[in-house]
């Protein structure tokens, strides 16, 4: 197996992008990453694109062919990878495995979602849950995560204010990220007083509905310096599965797939939580950010809320979480999220993150899940 490096990264602006189409989004992200990596389009051997549900959002399937064609990359092989909100990280992982195995040399892993062209995104997003046991019984993602939040509050004493603080920190970081959907600060009171979506979660506990795309270019580590002075090395790429339904889990306050993927990642990289300088976690709802820091091992189970309250996860704290603004405030274009997380870690490790730079960051992590954690993927990257 060969070591793999990231030599280019790019992200479009995230938001409600009425004047930009699906194909324009992925083209902008792809060209951005090509430009950033100093490779030519003709150097690319393969493309993997994370996308959850273009069929439901824009009535377009067969998007891999559409993207290869529209980006001018024909005839390279292009494959769509789907694992709900973890689609982007799995596209990254497919690219890493293709380069590591020697099957391809230069690969582009990207992600794209155009969510705002439908009147109501909720039924499309709900297809990531179990249709028979969850969606058709009326459960939506906000309601599933609301149940998790209630249980976490009951079992571990997590408070409503601690959940709100997770969103507040995300928005504080996003205010320094020009590509974020919501680049402005909010207060705990605003979170508590925004409209209820699914009790106890309010509007400002939720990630939004977002259009956006991101892309990463990979090559063998031994070749990386030909293209850039600042390659970022892939130390671990792992993935694990858990039950798709919540009711089949022994403990709904733990995401088993995250725990397994994280454990494997630390082993693969020969690192511990203490070595990680910053992490982009999957906070589709504030409670999920708290579960993530627990299940990734940064704090003990049940201590996530207190850690957030004490400011441990702020930029400048013990473990800066979501310097980009996270899913909550950078935005969450489902299939693009995992790639955007990796792009943020690349910029952080290069020292290119501007006003939101985590000082001295050398090793970073991404954590991306599908649904309520039926799929989880973890990546560890290093300077």
Binding site for ligand COA (CB under 6 A): 85, 122, 125, 141-142, 182, 197, 203-204, 206-209, 284, 332
CB atoms within 10 A of CB 352: 12
Residue 216: in which H helix or E strand, if any? strand 211-220
Q: b or e along 115-134 (b: 16 or more beta carbons within 10 Å of the residue's beta carbon)?
A: bbeeeebeebbbebbbeeeb
| First-to-last C-alpha distance (Å) of the chain | 20
Question: CB of residue 145 vs ligand COA: minimum separation in angstroms?
Answer: 7
Query: How many other C-beta atoms can be found within 10 angstroms of the C-beta atom of residue 148?
Result: 23
**Residue 253 and residue 148: Cα distance in Å, rounded?**
6
What is the dihedral sign for C-alpha 173, 179, 180, 185? positive
Q: How far is the CB of 224 from ligand COA (least distance, A)?
A: 34
Comparing CB distances to ligand COA, the nearer of 113 and 277 is: 113
Identified catalytic residue from 78, 85, 206, 219: 85
Looking at the Cβ atoms of 71 and 286, the one nearer to ligand COA is 286
Integer Cα distance of 91 and 64 in angstroms: 12
Shortest distance in whole angstroms from residue 212 CB to ligand COA: 13
Q: Does the annotation count 104 as an active-site position?
A: no
Which CB sits closer to ligand COA, 37 or 181? 181
Least gap, CB of 204 to ligand COA (angstroms): 6
**Please, are residues 197 and 206 in contact by the beta-carbon 8 Å criterion?**
yes
Query: Cβ 315 to ligand COA, closest distance in Å?
Result: 20
Q: What angle do CA 340, 344, 350 make, to 5 degrees?
A: 140
Min dist CB 92 to ligand COA, Å, is: 19
By beta-carbon proximity to ligand COA, the closer residue of 156 and 171 is 171
Least separation in angstroms between residue 152's CB and ligand COA is: 16
CA-closest candidate to residue 106, choices 269, 239, 232, 227:
227
Q: What is the DSSP string of 304-368?
A: HHHHHHTTTTSTTSSS-B-TT-HHHHT---GGGHHHHHHHHHHHHHHT--GGG--TT--EEEEEE
Nearer to ligand COA, 78 or 329 (CB): 329
Q: 30 vs 331, which CB is nearer to ligand COA?
A: 331
Told to judge if 332 belongs to the known catalytic residues of this protein, a careful annotator would answer yes
The single residue of 104, 156, 171, 332 carrying the catalytic annotation is 332
Residue among 30 and 212 whose Cβ is closer to ligand COA = 212
Q: Parallel, antiparallel, or unpaired for β 232-241 and 375-382?
A: antiparallel
* Packed helices 337-350 and 87-101: angle between N→C axes, nearest 10 degrees: 60
DSSP per residue over 235-288, as a string? EEEEEEE--SSSTT-S-TTS-HHHHHHHHHHHHHHT--GGG--EEE---SBHHH
Active site residues: 85, 332
């Amino acid at each position: 197996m060969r070591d793999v490096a990231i030599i280019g990264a790019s992200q479009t602006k995230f938001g409600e992008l009425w004047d930009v189409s699906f194909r324009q989004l992925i083209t902008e992200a792809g060209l951005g990453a090509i430009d950033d990596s100093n490779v030519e389009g003709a150097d690319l051997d393969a493309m993997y694109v994370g996308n959850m549900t273009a069929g439901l959002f824009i009535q377009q399937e067969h998007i891999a062919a559409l993207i290869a064609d529209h980006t001018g990359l024909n005839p390279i092989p292009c494959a769509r990878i789907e694992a709900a909100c973890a689609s982007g990280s799995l596209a990254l992982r497919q690219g890493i495995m293709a380069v590591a195995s020697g099957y391809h040399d230069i690969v582009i892993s990207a992600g794209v979602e155009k969510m705002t062209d439908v009147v109501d995104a909720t039924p499309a997003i709900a297809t990531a849950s179990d249709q028979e046991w969850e969606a058709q019984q009326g459960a939506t993602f906000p309601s599933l995560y609301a149940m998790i939040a209630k249980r976490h509050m009951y079992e571990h004493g997590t408070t409503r204010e601690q959940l709100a603080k997770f969103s507040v920190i995300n928005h504080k970081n996003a205010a320094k990220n020009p590509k974020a959907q919501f680049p402005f600060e909010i207060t705990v009171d605003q979170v508590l007083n925004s409209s209820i979506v699914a009790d106890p979660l309010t509007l400002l506990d939720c990630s939004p509905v977002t259009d956006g795309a991101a892309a990463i270019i990979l090559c063998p580590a031994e070749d990386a310096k030909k293209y850039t002075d600042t390659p970022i090395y892939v130390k671990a790429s792992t993935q694990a599965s858990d039950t798709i339904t919540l009711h089949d889990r022994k403990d709904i306050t733990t995401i088993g797939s995250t725990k397994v993927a994280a454990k494997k990642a630390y082993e693969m990289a020969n690192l511990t939580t203490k070595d990680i300088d910053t992490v982009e976690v999957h906070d589709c709802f504030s409670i999920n950010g708290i579960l993530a820091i627990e299940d990734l091992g940064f704090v003990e189970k049940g201590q996530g809320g207190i850690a957030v309250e004490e400011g441990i996860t702020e930029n400048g704290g013990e473990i800066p979480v979501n310097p980009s603004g996270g899913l909550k405030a950078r935005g969450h274009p489902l299939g693009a999220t995992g790639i955007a997380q990796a792009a943020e870690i690349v910029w952080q490790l290069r020292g290119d993150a501007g006003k939101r730079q985590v000082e001295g960051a050398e090793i970073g992590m991404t954590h991306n899940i599908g649904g309520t954690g039926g799929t989880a993927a973890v990546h560890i990257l290093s300077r």
